[in-house]
Amino acid sequence: MMGSKGPLIFLLLAIIAWKGARLMFGCALVPDPVGTMVCLFHLAATRNFWFHIAMTLFRGGAALALALGLAMGTGIVAGRKKPSWT
Protein backbone atom coordinates (compact mmCIF):
# COMPACT_ATOMS: atom_id res chain seq x y z
CA MET A 1 0.00 0.00 0.00
CA MET A 2 1.34 3.45 -0.92
CA GLY A 3 0.20 5.27 2.19
CA SER A 4 0.81 9.01 2.21
CA LYS A 5 3.11 8.89 -0.83
CA GLY A 6 0.23 8.12 -3.21
CA PRO A 7 -0.87 11.72 -3.89
CA LEU A 8 2.75 12.82 -4.34
CA ILE A 9 3.41 10.05 -6.84
CA PHE A 10 0.18 10.91 -8.70
CA LEU A 11 1.20 14.58 -8.86
CA LEU A 12 4.64 13.65 -10.16
CA LEU A 13 3.14 11.36 -12.83
CA ALA A 14 0.66 14.10 -13.84
CA ILE A 15 3.50 16.61 -14.29
CA ILE A 16 5.49 14.07 -16.33
CA ALA A 17 2.43 13.41 -18.52
CA TRP A 18 1.90 17.17 -18.91
CA LYS A 19 5.55 17.63 -19.98
CA GLY A 20 5.17 14.72 -22.40
CA ALA A 21 2.02 16.23 -23.90
CA ARG A 22 3.86 19.52 -24.34
CA LEU A 23 6.70 17.78 -26.14
CA MET A 24 4.26 15.82 -28.30
CA PHE A 25 1.83 18.61 -29.23
CA GLY A 26 4.07 21.67 -28.96
CA CYS A 27 4.07 24.83 -26.86
CA ALA A 28 1.32 26.48 -28.93
CA LEU A 29 -1.19 23.86 -27.75
CA VAL A 30 0.05 22.81 -24.30
CA PRO A 31 1.67 25.39 -21.99
CA ASP A 32 4.75 24.70 -19.89
CA PRO A 33 3.74 23.22 -16.51
CA VAL A 34 6.40 25.13 -14.54
CA GLY A 35 5.45 28.48 -16.10
CA THR A 36 1.78 27.73 -15.50
CA MET A 37 2.37 26.96 -11.81
CA VAL A 38 4.42 30.14 -11.35
CA CYS A 39 1.63 32.18 -12.96
CA LEU A 40 -0.98 30.42 -10.79
CA PHE A 41 0.93 31.23 -7.60
CA HIS A 42 1.20 34.88 -8.62
CA LEU A 43 -2.53 35.02 -9.38
CA ALA A 44 -3.43 33.25 -6.12
CA ALA A 45 -1.71 36.04 -4.20
CA THR A 46 -4.23 38.60 -5.50
CA ARG A 47 -7.59 39.37 -3.93
CA ASN A 48 -9.27 39.57 -7.32
CA PHE A 49 -8.41 35.92 -8.03
CA TRP A 50 -10.19 34.66 -4.93
CA PHE A 51 -13.25 36.82 -5.67
CA HIS A 52 -13.52 35.22 -9.10
CA ILE A 53 -13.04 31.74 -7.63
CA ALA A 54 -15.86 32.41 -5.14
CA MET A 55 -18.16 33.71 -7.88
CA THR A 56 -17.44 30.67 -10.06
CA LEU A 57 -18.24 28.30 -7.18
CA PHE A 58 -21.43 30.23 -6.39
CA ARG A 59 -22.60 30.12 -10.01
CA GLY A 60 -21.77 26.43 -10.28
CA GLY A 61 -23.71 25.69 -7.09
CA ALA A 62 -26.69 27.76 -8.28
CA ALA A 63 -26.67 25.95 -11.64
CA LEU A 64 -26.52 22.58 -9.88
CA ALA A 65 -29.43 23.51 -7.59
CA LEU A 66 -31.50 24.71 -10.56
CA ALA A 67 -30.73 21.55 -12.57
CA LEU A 68 -31.59 19.30 -9.62
CA GLY A 69 -34.84 21.17 -9.00
CA LEU A 70 -35.90 20.94 -12.64
CA ALA A 71 -34.92 17.27 -12.87
CA MET A 72 -36.78 16.37 -9.68
CA GLY A 73 -39.86 18.31 -10.79
CA THR A 74 -39.82 16.62 -14.18
CA GLY A 75 -39.32 13.22 -12.56
CA ILE A 76 -42.22 13.71 -10.16
CA VAL A 77 -44.54 14.79 -12.97
CA ALA A 78 -43.40 11.90 -15.17
CA GLY A 79 -43.77 9.43 -12.32
CA ARG A 80 -47.35 10.45 -11.59
CA LYS A 81 -48.51 9.72 -15.14
CA LYS A 82 -49.34 6.09 -15.85
CA PRO A 83 -47.47 4.70 -18.88
CA SER A 84 -49.65 4.00 -21.92
CA TRP A 85 -48.16 0.53 -22.45
CA THR A 86 -49.43 -0.87 -19.12
- Per-residue pLDDT of 33-71, as tens digits, reads 889 999 999 999 998 999 999 999 999 999 999 999 999
Q: Are residues 29 and 39 in the same domain?
A: yes
11 assigned to some structural domain: yes
Residue 86 lies in a domain: no
Distance CA 46, CA 18 (A): 26
Query: By residue range, what is the domain housing residue 14?
Result: 1-45
Residue 59 lies in a domain: yes
Q: Is residue 73 located within the same domain as residue 53?
A: yes
pTM of the model: 0.56
Report the domain count for the chain: 2
Residue 22 pLDDT level (bands cut at 50, 70, 90): very high
Sign of the Cα pseudo-torsion (59, 65, 71, 77, in order) = negative
